[in-house]
Amino acid sequence: MAQAAASSRSGGNRRFVYVVASVAALGGLLFGYDTGVISGALLFINKDFQLNPFLEGFIVSSLLLGAMVGAAISGALSDRLGRRTIILVAAAIFAVGAIGAGLSPNVGTLIFFRFLLGLGVGSASALVPSYISESAPTDVRGSLSSLFQLAITIGILVAYLVNAAFASAGEWRWPLGLAFVPALILLIGMYFLPETPRWLVSKDRDEEARRVLSRTRTEEEVESELKEIRHAEDVEGEQAGYRELLAPWVRPMLVVGIGLAVFQQFVGINTVIYYAPTIIKSTGLADVASVLATVGIGVVNVLMTIVAILVIDRIGRKPLLLIGLAGMFVSLGIIGAAFLFSGLSGIISWVTLAGLMLYIASFAVSFGPVLWVMLPEIFPLNARGTGTGVSALSNWGANFIVAQSFLPLVALIGRPAVFWILAGMCIVAALFIYFLVPETRGRSLEKIELDLRDRMTVGS
Ligand code: BGC
C-alpha cells in the first residue's frame, strides 16, 4: 500500500514505464503468434505442397530449433551490446521472416523462414523479460514483466482467430505474413525507446542511465536507485557473461533458472496449446465444438494471465507457482481418468474439456508468467543476458522434446498414462520450487543479487 502510494507520488511520467513495457512486450505477441499460427495453417500448406509427416513435423519444429539458437546467442550478445540493440535485430528478423514465410514458393524456403522466425522468437524470450525487468520500478516489476506473457497469450489467441478467419478460403499465406505488422511496430517502437538503466551502468555509462531513469522517477528516486545499481555493480566487479554465470555464487541460480525453464515445459503446456484441437476431437466432440473449445482455451489463457498480473506483486512468485501446480496436478489427473473412461458416456467429453480449462487456467495464473518474470530477477547484472539466454534455451529444448515425444508416447502407452506422467511432473516441479527457488517479490534487482551473494558466500 505504502509502496503504491509512493509510486503514484512519483509523477505522471511514471506512465512511460508502461509504454516501454508494452512496446517491448510485442516481442511476446510475435512469440505467441508465430508458435500458435502453424497448427492451423498446416492444413492448407499441406494442400499446396504435398507434405509427408516428416516435412510436416519439420515445418513445426524448425521454429523451435531456431528459437534454441536464438536464445543461446542473443542473451550473451545482449550483455555485451545492450538489450535494446539485440531486440531491434530480433524485430528486423521477425519482419523478414514473416514476409518470407508468407511468400515461400516451396517447402525448403518455408522451413528456412520458419527457422529464421525461430531466431526472433528465441531472442525475444531471452531479452524482452530482461529489458522490461531492468527498466521497471521494483514495486510493479512483476506486473510489468508479466506483460510479456500476456502478449504471448494474446498472440496465440489472435493466431487461432486469424486461422479460423482464413480457413474457409483455405489460405495460409496471409496468416503467416500478417505477423509482419506487429514486427514493424516493434522495430519502430524500440527505435524510440531507451536502453535499460542497469545495462548502461554495467558499461559505466552512468550519466545516460541517470537520464533514462529521470524520465520515469523523481529526482530522489533516481539518485537512490542509481546508487544501489552502482553499488551492486562495484561488488560484482569486472567478471561478466559465462564466466560470471559459472562463478560459485551464481551457479545455484543457474540451476534454478534452468530447472524452472525445463519444468515449465515438462508439465505439458504445449501438448495442450499445440494439440488442443486433436485432444478435444478425440473426446468425441463435434468439429465445430472442437474449434470453439480451442478458442475458449485461448481466451481462458489470456484472462488468467491478467489475474496473475494483478496479484503477482502482492502474493509473490512462489505461492503463485505452487497454487498453479496444484491446479495442474488435479486437472491432469482428471483428464487422464476421463480418457480412461472415454466412450462410456457423452458426459466424459465435457469432463475432459473442464479438465483442460482448469489446466490452462492454472498454468496461465502461475508458470506462464512467473517463469519469464523470475529469470531476469535471479541473475546478477553482468550475467543477466547470458543466464536468461541459457535458461530460455533450456525452455525451448524441453519444448522440443515434449512436442516431439507426445504423439509417439500416446501411441505407445496410451493417453491416460501420458497425462498421469505429466501430473507426476507437477509434483517434482513443486518440490524443486519449494526447496530451491528463492522468493523475489518486493526487492530491487540489486537487493536480490546482494542477498543471494551473501547467502552463497556464508554458505560456502
Ligand atoms: C511458454 C510457451 C507456451 C505459452 C502458453 C509460455 O510461457 O513458454 O511454451 O506456449 O506460455 O501460453
**Structural domains in the chain, sorted by start:** 9-459 (1.20.1250.20)
The closest-lying atom of ligand 1 relative to the alpha carbon of residue 372 is 7
- Is 202:233 a contact under the CB 8 Å cutoff? yes
Query: Checking phi first, is residue 52 left (phi over 0); if not, alpha (psi -120 to 50) or beta?
Result: beta
Contact partners, residue 147, CB within 8 Å, separation at least 6: 21, 22, 25, 28, 132, 309
Cα(358)–Cα(425) distance, integer angstroms: 17
Closest protein CA for atom 11 of ligand 1: 368
CA–chain centroid gap for 120, Å, is 13
Closest protein CA for atom 1 of ligand 1: 368
The closest-lying atom of ligand 1 relative to the alpha carbon of residue 399 is 9
Diameter of the chain measured on Cα atoms: 70
Name residues of the chain where pLDDT drops below 50.
1-12, 460
User: If we measure between CA atoms, which residue out of 303, 309, 291 comes closest to residue 353?
Assistant: 291
377-393: per-residue pLDDT in tens?
999 998 999 999 999 99
For residue 149, give Cα distances in angstroms to 21, 142, 305, 363.
12, 11, 7, 11
The closest-lying atom of ligand 1 relative to the alpha carbon of residue 395 is 8
Ligand 1 centroid to residue 93 C-alpha, Å: 21
Ligand 1 centroid to residue 269 C-alpha, Å: 7
DSSP letter for 136, please: S
Q: What was the pLDDT predicted at 5?
A: 40
The closest-lying atom of ligand 1 relative to the alpha carbon of residue 305 is 12
The closest-lying atom of ligand 1 relative to the alpha carbon of residue 369 is 7
Q: What was the pLDDT predicted at 458?
A: 60
Report the C-alpha dihedral over residues 58, 62, 65, 69, rounded to 10 degrees. Answer: 150
Closest protein CA for atom 7 of ligand 1: 368
68-125: per-residue pLDDT in tens?
999 999 999 999 999 999 999 999 999 999 999 999 999 999 999 999 999 999 999 9
- Is 146:57 a contact under the CB 8 Å cutoff? no
Cα(335)–Cα(353) distance, integer angstroms: 8
**Ramachandran angles phi, psi of 286, nearest 5°:** -70, 165
Cα(251)–Cα(253) distance, integer angstroms: 5
Contact partners, residue 168, CB within 8 Å, separation at least 6: none
Give SS3 for 380: coil
H helices present in 414-444, as ranges: 415-436
Ligand 1 centroid to residue 280 C-alpha, Å: 19
- Is 122:68 a contact under the CB 8 Å cutoff? yes
Cα(164)–Cα(304) distance, integer angstroms: 23
Cα(72)–Cα(393) distance, integer angstroms: 6
297-328: per-residue pLDDT in tens?
999 999 999 999 999 999 999 999 999 999 99
Q: Ligand 1 pocket by C-beta < 6 Å: which residues?
A: 35, 149, 152-153, 156, 264, 269-270, 273, 301, 368, 395, 399
User: If we measure between CA atoms, which residue out of 312, 310, 316, 280 comes closest to residue 298?
Assistant: 280
Q: What was the pLDDT predicted at 235?
A: 81
Q: What was the pLDDT predicted at 7?
A: 43
Closest protein CA for atom 9 of ligand 1: 270
Ligand 1 centroid to residue 202 C-alpha, Å: 31
The CA-based angle 56-28-185, given to 5 degrees, is 105
Cα(383)–Cα(39) distance, integer angstroms: 36
- Is 433:321 a contact under the CB 8 Å cutoff? yes
Packing angle of the helix pair 384-413, 269-282 (nearest 10 deg): 30
